Each structure stands twice: as structure tokens, then as C-alpha cells.
Amino acid sequence: LAACPLLTMRTFAEEKASGTLEMLMTSPLSDWQIVLAKYAGCLLFYTVLWLPTVVYLPVLSGVNVSWAGGLPHVVATADLAPVYTTYLGLFLAGAMFLAMGVCVSSMVRDQLVAAQASLALGVLFLAGSFAANAMDGGTGYQVAYYLSVPLHFDRAFSRGVIDLRPVTLYVSVALFSLFLTVRSLESRRYA
């Protein structure tokens, strides 16, 4: 969560502060193309940040190497489904937090304000776990669970289960944030 505001704080706030947003908006690209290009760049960099952890996959899988006929024969002794679903969850949650950060950056002029506001917005999705732990059940618990990213990992992704409720949350919040980003840029044309 902490890396996402830092990755997105300059996407549009720096453009506004330096006065280059007007030049960008007069380019022959549509608003959607500009937003998606900046978002894709942030998402790609976020994904690259996680690549070094792939080195640990052989250790996590408990790889046994035996030599049969002069060739190595690799046998994984552990179930890697929880590892793969955790990576999927990290990617989707990061995509949501990055989209929210891009949206906040399009609405403010200062980079630090963009980082702080998107971090505060992201904390709302972490605070649900504290609220859910305080409740015993019922509708309030279900809402807190639905909005709590740590509980999604605790109960689904880290156990090798792909629950469509968190996936739906992450994708819908990311798409809605990108939609708001485009609308924010379009509003500058009419101001």
C-alpha cells in the first residue's frame, strides 16, 4: 500500500504544477489514452517491483532435484497454489491502489498532497479488518470484510482460494477510479 501513492503522486500533479498538462491535453491523444498510458506505466513498474520475489519460488516449493540418466529431474513437494493466488491478489490490490492514486493525482496540484490523500484513501481499505475483528457477525461484518484487503488475503488469497468478491471489488474500484480520472481531466478543458 505504501508504495502505490509514491508511484502515482507525480502522474498528473507534477504535470499541473509544472504547466505541462496543457501541452499534454492538446496532444492528438484522447483522455482515456493518456490516463491508461500513465496507469499502465505505474502498474508495470509495480509489477517489476515484485519480480525479485520469484527467485524464492524454488525454496517455497521444496524442490527436490534428482539425477536420472544424467539429466536433472525436478520435483516440487509443496502446493504452490497459495503462492500463485497471493501473487494474483497482490497484483489486483496494487492495481486498485494505483488507480486510486492516479485519480487523486489528477485532482490535486501538489505531489505530496497527492501521496498523502491517496495513502489516506488506501487506509480505508485496510481499516476494515479492524472493524471486522471487533464485530461478531451480521451485515456490518460482511461490509467490513468486503472492504478489507488484509482479510481477503487472510481468508482467501493466501490459502490458495480465488474469491470473486475481492476480485470484483479491486477491478470495479480500479475502473471507477480511472473513469473519475478521465472526468477530472475533461473538466479542465471546460474550466
DSSP per residue, 112-134:
HHHHHHHHHHHHHHHHHHHHHHH
Q: What is the pLDDT of residue 65?
A: 67
Evaluate if pTM is beyond 0.75: yes
As a whole number of angstroms, the distance between CA 146 and CA 190 comes to: 37
Q: φ, ψ for residue 120 (rounded to 5)?
A: -65, -40
Q: What is the pLDDT of residue 54?
A: 85
What confidence category does residue 130 fall into, taking pLDDT thresholds of 50, 70 and 90? Answer: confident
Q: Which of 35, 55, 51, 39 is nearest to 4 (CA)?
A: 39
Cα-based torsion angle of the residue sequence 50, 56, 62, 63 in order, rounded to the nearest 10 degrees = 110
* 67 has pLDDT over 80: no
Q: Which of 161, 44, 38 is nearest to 104 (CA)?
A: 38
Top-confidence residue, 111 or 25: 111
Hey, what amino acid is at 78?
Answer: A
* 143 has pLDDT over 80: yes
What confidence category does residue 75 fall into, taking pLDDT thresholds of 50, 70 and 90? Answer: low
As a whole number of angstroms, the distance between CA 8 and CA 13 comes to: 9
Answer left, alpha or beta for residue 19, where phi above 0 means left and psi between -120 and 50 means alpha: left
Q: How far is CA 36 from CA 23, 115, 182, in A?
A: 17, 19, 9
What does DSSP assign to residue 53? G
Rounded average pLDDT over 92-116: 96
As a whole number of angstroms, the distance between CA 129 and CA 108 comes to: 29
As a whole number of angstroms, the distance between CA 99 and CA 13 comes to: 14
What confidence category does residue 78 fall into, taking pLDDT thresholds of 50, 70 and 90? Answer: confident
Of the given ranges (16-20, 101-105, 110-114, 177-181), which has the lowest mean pLDDT? 16-20
Tens digits of residue pLDDT in 3-56 = 999 999 999 999 988 988 888 888 899 999 999 999 999 999 999 999 999 888
Rounded average pLDDT over 72-78: 68
